[in-house]
Chains A and B, each alone.
Chain A
């Protein structure tokens, strides 16, 4: 826990300093073009940009701890509000993409390891290689073209809140979720297949078959659990990344998530928004990694013994 907090503190310093070091003056973004030096100075004073570094960091951190991330340079609205509005979109996208990716990759990974060189394995290898070679923006556009333009079965872009129309809400999510899930699915399938292959080589799996256990039981209860460590670790990292915002997919499908928030903030030099989002993303990463660490003892009782 102490390590967790220390890490978070270091991250906050890094985030704060990162923006200090970026070339360019934030005042440029705040004043109209052709502003006089006096006006610029006034704005500087107003936003506290003239205070010493340490003081600015302290006041920023103090605010953050109370949930006050400051106000956007651009919109003058509290940053926390903007994030609260965007975060659920990214969160939903991330969770759905993870669910879809795991739902596809676990059975495919398990089966292609069980029958390496079989047709499932060969098809999976072909599809994963093809997907791996396709950047997400190409895949997204391809999906839009096929399902949105040609087949006209799914809406192409935009976001409908769940409260407004649940059916529309989910049909707008299908294509972005598939686009996001595809890339992760490839990663998960490959990882799981590799680990499963190694586990299935072990004599205890042969012994399970020799004892006449049904195949599904051997795969699910004996081999999968033992082979899922890398998958769990990577899943934690991936979901952290997805929640932090997926710039490309959100842009393609014009979804109001964290990714598009951050992109807009960077373009308009709205540093305080960038700072807050990066800090939040780091927090999510740390949380996810801690969560992953907590699942190891559940997966492997040997870890339980070692840590207790």
Chain B
């Protein structure tokens, strides 16, 4: 996999957000280069949710940070609503920030413990100005209500008095009150109990509908993004493997890595045979990524060419983009690959 290329970007007036050739590199502890994100591209239409999926350490969060310009990417472009964010600085960038908001994984650390809920939510509105304090108050109350909390009892309390799920609701309110164009959710439910996860996912789905929100939803678990996402981007070690519509991706993965991820979703059937781990080994180090296709060291289908030539993202079937020299054929049995295929 380990694909570069932009074949999957859509030429569509409805595309409001695009990331092109995004590269994030930073200096490691001993001054070496860490290749966190290499040449990642994707785009989103208005109201569309992009699921960004991959193992821990594959660069998902680095992509999120780079989109937020916190800090800006090493290379590449991030365009929101026709504005190139990577070229903005200082006050101009701060004015654009209202349009792209983020929801974090850790509900506790993402809220300032010393401030009241109403101040946490209202602060962005106050700073961006143009509203009277009554308007700020009304919008804040409305938003607290919309995320399913009671404004009368919640507004004057502080984050430590709420559960993790409630804190995540406050975070969502804090982001949504600014009426953003794009919301990046960085594993927003990974730290929550399973029962609460569903509530928060439902709330996000509701917000998406109500505001026709464009979202980038990051998760390490395909099952989590499956229902909410319209389009899924699978990442591996800083590169894009596969891009497809959500349903198609699950029905027939084209990239061996995607297949492994799909297989690793647990079956809710207790009688289902226990599958062997679909992937063995660890993620290689981003300090020194494998040559050619970055997935080749763990890929059951790897050939010689995979080590020498990096696969480009291409349309392997209509509407299906993958970066692989040997994409999987369409009606594929989503079963474990048989042991070493005899050549």
Q: Which residues of A contact B (CB under 8 A)?
A: 202-204, 206-214, 217, 222, 225-226, 299-302
Interface of B (DSSP majority class): mixed
Judged by a CB distance under 8 angstroms, whether B274 is at the interface is: no
With A203-B104, A302-B158 known to touch, is A213 a contact of B124 (CB < 8 Å)?
yes
User: Quick check: B112 and A211 within 8 Å, CB to CB?
Assistant: no
Q: For window 27-72 of chain B, which residues contact chain A by CB distance below 8 Å?
A: 68, 70
Report A-chain residues with C-beta under 8 Å of the C-beta of B97: 209-212
Give, as a whole number of angstroms, the nearest-CB distance from B262 to chain A.
30
User: Quick check: B112 and A210 within 8 Å, CB to CB?
Assistant: no
User: Quick check: A212 and B114 within 8 Å, CB to CB?
Assistant: no
Report A-chain residues with C-beta under 8 Å of the C-beta of B212: none
Give, as a whole number of angstroms, the nearest-CB distance from B273 to chain A.
41
User: Quick check: A210 and B102 within 8 Å, CB to CB?
Assistant: yes
Give, as a whole number of angstroms, the nearest-CB distance from B176 to chain A.
12
User: Quick check: B70 and A210 within 8 Å, CB to CB?
Assistant: yes
Q: For window 81-113 of chain B, which residues contact chain A by CB distance below 8 Å?
A: 93-98, 100-102, 104-106, 109-113
Judged by a CB distance under 8 angstroms, whether B340 is at the interface is: no
Q: Quick one: closest B residue to A201, CB to CB?
A: B109
Give, as a whole number of angstroms, the nearest-CB distance from A27 to chain B.
60
Report A-chain residues with C-beta under 8 Å of the C-beta of B102: 206-207, 210
Interface of A (DSSP majority class): helix
User: Quick check: B114 and A301 within 8 Å, CB to CB?
Assistant: yes
Report A-chain residues with C-beta under 8 Å of the C-beta of B95: 212
Select the residue from A213, A225, A300 with max chain B CB neighbours within 10 A.
A213
Report B-chain residues with C-beta under 8 Å of the C-beta of A214: 94, 127
User: Quick check: A225 and B114 within 8 Å, CB to CB?
Assistant: yes
Q: List 30 A-B contacts (CB under 8 A).
A: A202-B110, A203-B106, A203-B109, A204-B110, A204-B112, A206-B102, A206-B104, A206-B110, A207-B104, A207-B110, A208-B123, A209-B70, A209-B97, A210-B68, A210-B70, A210-B101, A211-B98, A211-B101, A211-B124, A211-B178, A212-B93, A212-B96, A212-B124, A212-B127, A213-B94, A214-B127, A225-B114, A226-B112, A226-B114, A302-B160
Question: Contacts A206-B104, A207-B110, A210-B70 given; 6 further ones with Cβ under 8 A?
Answer: A204-B110, A207-B171, A210-B97, A210-B100, A302-B114, A302-B158
User: Quick check: A302 and B113 within 8 Å, CB to CB?
Assistant: yes
User: Quick check: B127 and A211 within 8 Å, CB to CB?
Assistant: yes
Give, as a whole number of angstroms, the nearest-CB distance from A58 to chain B.
49
User: Quick check: A300 and B114 within 8 Å, CB to CB?
Assistant: yes
Give, as a whole number of angstroms, the nearest-CB distance from B122 to chain A.
11
With A222-B112, A225-B114, A226-B112 known to touch, is A213 a contact of B68 (CB < 8 Å)?
no
Report A-chain residues with C-beta under 8 Å of the C-beta of B94: 212-214
Give, as a whole number of angstroms, the nearest-CB distance from B221 to chain A.
20
With A225-B114, A300-B114, A301-B114 known to touch, is A212 a contact of B109 (CB < 8 Å)?
no
Per the bound structure, the CA–CA distance linking A210 and B97 in Å amounts to 6
Per the bound structure, the CA–CA distance linking A226 and B159 in Å amounts to 14
Give, as a whole number of angstroms, the nearest-CB distance from B41 to chain A.
22
Q: Quick one: closest A residue to B161, CB to CB?
A: A305
Q: For window 138-177 of chain B, which residues contact chain A by CB distance below 8 Å?
A: 158, 160, 171, 174
Per the bound structure, the CA–CA distance linking A210 and B103 in Å amounts to 10
Report B-chain residues with C-beta under 8 Å of the C-beta of A204: 109-112
Give, as a whole number of angstroms, the nearest-CB distance from B94 to chain A.
4
Report B-chain residues with C-beta under 8 Å of the C-beta of A207: 102, 104, 110, 171, 174
Per the bound structure, the CA–CA distance linking A206 and B106 in Å amounts to 12
Give, as a whole number of angstroms, the nearest-CB distance from A99 to chain B.
25
Report A-chain residues with C-beta under 8 Å of the C-beta of B10: none
Report B-chain residues with C-beta under 8 Å of the C-beta of A302: 113-114, 158, 160
Per the bound structure, the CA–CA distance linking A226 and B114 in Å amounts to 7
Give, as a whole number of angstroms, the nearest-CB distance from B157 to chain A.
10
Per the bound structure, the CA–CA distance linking A301 and B112 in Å amounts to 12
With A212-B98, A226-B114, A302-B113 known to touch, is A206 a contact of B124 (CB < 8 Å)?
no
Judged by a CB distance under 8 angstroms, whether B336 is at the interface is: no
Per the bound structure, the CA–CA distance linking A226 and B160 in Å amounts to 14
Give, as a whole number of angstroms, the nearest-CB distance from B284 to chain A.
27
Per the bound structure, the CA–CA distance linking A217 and B102 in Å amounts to 19
Report B-chain residues with C-beta under 8 Å of the C-beta of A213: 94, 123-124, 127
Q: Nearest 4 A-B pairs (CB), nearest first?
A: A212-B97, A203-B110, A211-B124, A212-B94
Per the bound structure, the CA–CA distance linking A88 and B97 in Å amounts to 53
Per the bound structure, the CA–CA distance linking A202 and B171 in Å amounts to 14
Report A-chain residues with C-beta under 8 Å of the C-beta of B123: 208, 211, 213
Judged by a CB distance under 8 angstroms, whether B317 is at the interface is: no
Per the bound structure, the CA–CA distance linking A226 and B158 in Å amounts to 14
Q: For window 213-252 of chain B, which residues contact chain A by CB distance below 8 Å?
A: none
Give, as a whole number of angstroms, the nearest-CB distance from A232 to chain B.
14
Give, as a whole number of angstroms, the nearest-CB distance from A288 to chain B.
24
Give, as a whole number of angstroms, the nearest-CB distance from A302 to chain B.
6
Report A-chain residues with C-beta under 8 Å of the C-beta of B104: 203, 206-207
User: Quick check: A226 and B113 within 8 Å, CB to CB?
Assistant: yes
